[in-house]
Structure 1
Amino acid sequence: MSVPKGEVRPTTDRVREALFSILHPLIKHADVLDLFTGSGAFGLEALSRGARTARMVDASRASCTTAKANLSKTGLEGGTVIQGDAVQFVKRELTAGRKYDVVFADPPYCKGPLDRDFVVELVEAGVAGLLKDDGVFIAEVQEGWGTGSEDSAGFDGLRLVDTRRYGKNMLLFYRLPKE
């Protein structure tokens, strides 16, 4: 699989394998949204494991070109690559009324107090509204700042149900609150 040079920090194979082991019961026939897709690895893996659709979004033209090429090489069906800002895309999807079984976000890490925390921005944009009733929102963050700090992982409208650590990287799993 090709990766755009210098622009992306792909999820490691180890983390992706662990993630898909966790998601195994959800992926078959799932509608997947992959935000900050980079090379498209998450969306492509989901399709290869039986997802019905995978919409892969990235602001970078180079990332989208690479993700499209990777999608073409695999011959997998149901994948769409969209160039655009992930936060704005979430807002448009809400307006369109689209829902997903799995929403995965692997944004640039918040590494200091002046960095954007894209996970917070996605939550504020309404990412919870894109989840089907049993859907899951997964954010990959780096331990330390922003959403990656112990006291900042919770959000109104989403319930943190699991946290997995892989070195300094963390996968945060959110679901809609039970009524």
Structure 2
Amino acid sequence: MRIISGEYGGRMIKAVPGSATRPTTDKIKEAIFNLIGPYFDGGRSLDLYAGSGGLSIEGVSRGIEQAVLVDRQFAAIKIIKENVAVTKEEGKFNIIKSSAEQAIQRLSGQKPFDLFYFDPPYAKQTIQADVAKLSENGLIAKEAILMAETDQEANLPEEIGNFKLWKQREYGITVITIYRFEE
């Protein structure tokens, strides 16, 4: 795996060993960023199921100012820290070992997020519940973008809270769904 573009483009990153996580392939990562806008002018991102941290690192490489990465597995947190070290800008990343629900509570009251990556385990689609908790805690910025990576069986709705379906693409069994926040 590698960082595809931006400031850290071309640097190699590691996947979490074992089968507990499913890393986003370079092809799908590139497709995601082509859909949500290839580069950013600041902003904050949140990944509640960070795995190796590849999506957040790619986002910061492309201009996101600060990324919060959450995962509950010790092995994932270890790899995220190693991958973030590759950037040599660890200050742009906040790594939290926690469940998604606990992390949302912990982040309550902080500055809202502009970009959300949702790539929970396929068998455990909690996107709608997570978005409701993020909204309750004031963590969604106006005009935020939500990217959901699911399998074809997830059948996400046209709306999740105030997020409205914007774009959707299928890549084999993987479905990328992009939502925009509308008040």
For normalisation by structure 1, the TM-score amounts to 0.84
Give the deviation of 1:142 after TM superposition.
0.7
State the Cα RMSD in Å: 2.0
How many equivalent pairs are there?
168
Structure with a larger share of its residues in helix: 1
For residues 32 and 99 of structure 2, what CA distance do their matches in structure 1 show?
24
Preserved contact between residue 30 and residue 53 of structure 1 (Cα < 8 Å): yes
For normalisation by structure 2, the TM-score amounts to 0.82
Q: 1:50–1:81: structure 2 CA closer, same or farther, 3 Å change rule?
A: same
Identity level (%):
29
Preserved contact between residue 158 and residue 164 of structure 2 (Cα < 8 Å): no
Q: Which runs of 5+ in 1 are unaligned?
A: 111-115
Which range is displaced more, 19-28 or 46-55?
Answer: 19-28
For residues 47 and 86 of structure 1, what CA distance do their matches in structure 2 show?
21
Match of 1:18 among 28, 31, 34: 31
Task: Determine helix, strand or coil for the equivalent of 1:4.
Answer: coil
Q: Which runs of 5+ in 2 are unaligned?
A: 1-12
Preserved contact between residue 34 and residue 103 of structure 1 (Cα < 8 Å): yes
* Deviation by residue 1:8-62 (Cα, 9 ceiling, x = unmatched): 1011111100111223366231211122111110111111112111111101111
Task: Determine helix, strand or coil for the equivalent of 1:117.
Answer: coil
Counterpart check, 1:164 vs 2:169: yes
For residues 50 and 106 of structure 1, what CA distance do their matches in structure 2 show?
21
* Deviation by residue 1:149-178 (Cα, 9 ceiling, x = unmatched): 26x453343212221211111112122234
Preserved contact between residue 142 and residue 182 of structure 2 (Cα < 8 Å): no
Preserved contact between residue 161 and residue 173 of structure 1 (Cα < 8 Å): yes
Preserved contact between residue 90 and residue 127 of structure 1 (Cα < 8 Å): no
Equivalent runs, 1:32-51 vs 2, <5 Å = 32-51=45-64
